[in-house]
Amino acid sequence: MALPPQVACLPRVDPVRLAAVMRLVVLEDASPPIPVFLLPEDAELARQTPAWVAAFASGNEVVLFPARTPSYPHESLQELLQHEVAHVLINRAAGGQHVPRWFHEGVALAAERAFSMGDRANFAIDVAFGGTVQAASLDRLFQAGPGSVARAYRLSGLLVQDLLEVHGPRLPANVLQRMRDGMTFDAAFHASAGMSVDEAVDRFWHRRRLWVTWLPWLTSAASIWTVMTLLAIAAFVAVRWRRARRRRWDDEEEQEEWEPQDRD
């Protein structure tokens, strides 16, 4: 089966963007070469993989389904390939140890892109309608449908960005280095950040407590009825005020009409 024409662009993957991942995780040697498998839709693995998954990394390998359309946060097959290669580099930096999906995705995104106003606006919507999410639940979102996966990407990216701002840009490298030396992720994170993962996530949400506290209420049915009630009261008061003003004008006009007769 012939592969789509965009496959021809894959050799032009930007090495600068991959070097950014290596700098973030402090991986000096990216070797050995990373095998990339391009599978058509009639391949058995393609049939077993959900249609909205356009690629994935497994250990030291990358699998791409070039006939599929990449989804958020990637807009092209090239970006998708670079993202999956970043996962392989993170795996190698961790010495093959298990890295939670949210940290994996967040570090890869932190090396690739800055979060836009649109991402932050969608984050506000996520908070309004989905509430807060802990790290373990965040990983489970990646196993759900496309909408939940997009939300998981946004939250993971913003969480890791927050960790970099609070604990410094060497945090991912320190965590992965300790994992390479034999620590579990939780132990390596605690040793690197000085707090547990759950505590770090709680502080992330605490720094956004205005959104967490008010946005769910502002988008709730109760707030909508409250606003409608206030608008109705305001409209009632405005009507009463206009009627009183009209009566006052009418009284003044009648008074002016009778004043000449009073003078006679």
Average per-residue pLDDT in the chain? 80
Which residue in 102, 98, 108, 110 sits closest to 140, CA to CA?
A: 102
- What's the pLDDT score for residue 232? 63
Q: Do residues 210 and 260 both lie within one domain?
A: no
- What's the pLDDT score for residue 119? 57
Residue 130 has pLDDT above 50, yes or no: yes
218, 235, 253 — which closes off a domain?
A: 218
- What's the pLDDT score for residue 147? 83
Q: Do residues 190 and 156 both lie within one domain?
A: yes
Q: Do residues 146 and 228 both lie within one domain?
A: no
Q: Tell me how many domains the chain contains.
A: 2
Cα dist from 39 to 56, 66, 70, 81, 135, whole Å: 12, 7, 15, 13, 32
Q: Do residues 101 and 63 both lie within one domain?
A: yes
- What's the pLDDT score for residue 48? 94
Q: Do residues 28 and 93 both lie within one domain?
A: yes
- Check which CATH number belongs to the domain holding 126 and give it: 1.10.390
- What's the pLDDT score for residue 192? 97
- What's the pLDDT score for residue 256? 59
pLDDT band at 255 (very low <50, low <70, confident <90, very high): low
Residue 199 has pLDDT above 80, yes or no: yes
Q: Do residues 70 and 150 both lie within one domain?
A: yes
Q: Do residues 140 and 74 both lie within one domain?
A: yes
Q: Do residues 172 and 212 both lie within one domain?
A: yes
pLDDT band at 174 (very low <50, low <70, confident <90, very high): very high
Q: Do residues 208 and 237 both lie within one domain?
A: no
pLDDT digits (tens, 9 = 90+) for 35-83: 999 999 999 999 999 988 999 998 899 999 988 888 877 778 888 888 9
Q: Do residues 66 and 188 both lie within one domain?
A: yes
- What's the pLDDT score for residue 249? 66
The sheet with strand 61-64 has its strands ordered as 36-38, 61-64, 55-58
Q: Tell me the torsion sign for CA atoms 144, 149, 155, 157.
A: positive
pLDDT band at 132 (very low <50, low <70, confident <90, very high): confident
Q: How many CB atoms lie within 10 A of CB 105?
A: 28
Both tokens assigned to 114:
């800055």
pLDDT band at 198 (very low <50, low <70, confident <90, very high): very high
**CA distance linking residue 80 with residue 65, whole number of Å:** 10
The size of the chain, in residues, is 264
pLDDT band at 8 (very low <50, low <70, confident <90, very high): low
Q: Do residues 242 and 214 both lie within one domain?
A: no
- In terms of residue numbers, what domain contains 176? 5-218
Q: Do residues 192 and 228 both lie within one domain?
A: no
